[in-house]
Amino acid sequence: MTTQPLNTPSATDDGATGYAVPQQEGFSWRIFGPGILMATAAIGGSHLISSTQAGALYGWQLAIMIILANVFKYPFFRFGTDYVYDTGESLIAGYAKRSKAYLWIYFILSILSAVISTGAVSLIAAVILGFMLPASVQLSTMSLSMIIVAVSWFFLIAGHYKLLDGVTKWIMIALTTATVAAVVIAAGKPTVMVTDFVAASPWNLATLGFIVALMGWMPAPLEFAAITSMWTSAKRKTDNTTHRQGLLDFNVGYAVSAILALFFLALGVFVQYGSGQEIELVGGAYINQLINMYTATIGEWSRLLVAFVAFMCMFGTTITCADGYGRANAECWRLIKGQSEINKKQIAFWTTYAIGGGLVIITFFTGQLGVMLKFAMISAFVSAPIFGWLNYSLVKNHKKLSMGMNALSIAGLIFLAGFALLFLANLAGFIG
């Protein structure tokens, strides 16, 4: 899983000798990269918190919304991979070729999403880190957030991200293993429901905000399709992978993210649903409840290990967000300025902007993790139809889509736009 600068020379030429590098064929661990990296970015607040809360509050009822969000967003994420292998360019370069308006729309939305998303995942990482530290270490959430963003910035600017990047696959494997084990164990000894338990229904306007937040980062903010296309472009150049291998990488990463979301939902169902335990929805208290779910099922011995794995996952997500948004915004700026390649100083500037802006956002939401996450996830969902339309119109203009993919894309746009408009109408007081 390697993220190289986008101005890396094509890997079809070995640079030193001038000999062509043979194209990879068949299956290899090395072909995986952008898809797994996207999955790493996806396993954030939507999975660790929102999916688990959905199971704890409403049982299996919202599983259908998780499935629908993943299904209807699928074509718009996949277009990023297809477009790279069809044209050799990222989606962002495609936006610029299609229309400067497309590029500016993406750029404006991306610079806003960069600080919101990076700030949100940094805050989650800081809260988890706080639970890991001994009681004798008295550091505020703000102080921990500053440490997280400072270390993230150092990794990216100093060029040490490759070090963490090499470990990310194993962190994902560890989190997946721990989650699956916890769910399997919990399923064997589900929580006994209290006698006076009355199942709550999520199918009302009062719950609409929670549902929209759940789907906003499911599996990831839709602007990550363009970011993933940049990673894919770099992967294609450095490792000379085929379109089939690129799709395998993408589909595996996407499927893992979607399935894990359902496993987190199941964990909430088996451990908390109907137990009579009050479900924390505000602040960082639910992080503690989440870690307790693992330890209650796997064993007390796993508390620190689970917390460490969850922290590393969120820390990796923080760095991935900052790196992705930094490169995407630098690419937008390059295209706006008409430059031939990305300037490293521009990448450093926009990466610093994402991290620094995220820290500014955190200062407004310190002690309000739940509020911040809901804000970030809802804003991601409301903007999703715009990103979806950009990707669909670009790819559709480039090549003829299959009947199935075209139908799924149109259905996805209707689904995303419909829910976004319903939420905005409810928020404005027009309905409900």
The 10s digit of each residue's pLDDT in 230-240 is: 888 877 887 78
> 177-200: per-residue pLDDT in tens?
888 888 888 888 777 788 788 889
Percent of the chain with pLDDT over 90: 33
At residue 355, does pLDDT exceed 50? yes
Handedness of CA 296, 297, 302, 303 (dihedral sign): negative
Provide the whole-model pTM.
0.85
At residue 151, does pLDDT exceed 70? yes
At residue 2, does pLDDT exceed 50? no
CA-based radius of gyration for the chain:
21
> 284-294: per-residue pLDDT in tens?
667 888 888 88
Residue 376 contacts residue 414 (beta carbons within 8 Å)? no
- pLDDT for the residue numbered 14: 39
Nearest Cα neighbor of 76 from 422, 413, 417, 321 is: 413
- pLDDT for the residue numbered 213: 86
- pLDDT for the residue numbered 28: 61
The rounded mean pLDDT for the chain is 83
AA identity, residue 91: L
Distance CA 365, CA 348 (A): 26
**How many CB atoms neighbour CB 144 within 10 A?**
21
Nearest Cα neighbor of 314 from 151, 184, 157 is: 151
Distance CA 267, CA 294 (A): 9
- pLDDT for the residue numbered 9: 36
Give residue for tokens 């990831």: 220
> 66-81: per-residue pLDDT in tens?
999 999 999 999 999 9
Nearest Cα neighbor of 253 from 176, 306, 184 is: 176
- pLDDT for the residue numbered 398: 83
DSSP per-residue string spanning 78-103? HHHHHHHHHHSS-HHHHHHHH-HHHH
- pLDDT for the residue numbered 10: 38
Pairwise pLDDT comparison (8 vs 251), residue with the higher score? 251
185 phi/psi in degrees, rounded to 5 = -65, -45
CA 122 to chain centre: 13
Distances, alpha carbon 90 to alpha carbons 80, 362, 416, 430, in Å: 7, 31, 24, 40
- pLDDT for the residue numbered 19: 36
Distance CA 259, CA 413 (A): 23
At residue 161, does pLDDT exceed 90? no
Would you state the structure tokens that stand for residue 65, as one six-digit string? 């919304």
The interaxial angle of helices 344-365 and 141-157, nearest 10 deg, is: 170
Question: Dihedral angle at the C-alpha atoms of 137, 141, 146, 148, nearest 10 degrees?
Answer: 80
Distances, alpha carbon 80 to alpha carbons 151, 205, 232, 245, 317, in Å: 30, 34, 8, 14, 20
Residues whose CB falls within 8 Å of the CB of residue 103, separated by 6 or more in sequence, listed in order: 92, 95, 96, 332, 335, 336
DSSP per-residue string spanning 10-42? PTTB-SSS-PBPPPP-S--GGG-SHHHHHHHHH
Going from N- to C-terminal start, the domains of the chain cover: 33-427
Distance CA 366, CA 364 (A): 6
Nearest Cα neighbor of 313 from 266, 264, 348, 270 is: 264
The interaxial angle of helices 303-337 and 344-365, nearest 10 deg, is: 130
- pLDDT for the residue numbered 8: 36
Residues whose CB falls within 8 Å of the CB of residue 27, separated by 6 or more in sequence, listed in order: 245, 248
DSSP 8-state symbol, 367: T
Distance CA 231, CA 224 (A): 10
Would you state the structure tokens that stand for residue 252, as one six-digit string? 């595996």
Q: Categorize the per-residue pLDDT at 55 as very low, low, confident or very high, splitting at 50, 70 and 90.
A: very high
Distance CA 4, CA 341 (A): 14
Distance CA 10, CA 5 (A): 11
At residue 165, does pLDDT exceed 70? no
CA 328 to chain centre: 15
- pLDDT for the residue numbered 406: 96
- For domain 33-427, the question of CATH label 1.20.1740.10 is answered with yes
Distance CA 267, CA 262 (A): 9
Q: Categorize the per-residue pLDDT at 135 as very low, low, confident or very high, splitting at 50, 70 and 90.
A: confident
Residue 380 contacts residue 221 (beta carbons within 8 Å)? yes
> 393-415: per-residue pLDDT in tens?
999 988 889 999 999 999 999 99
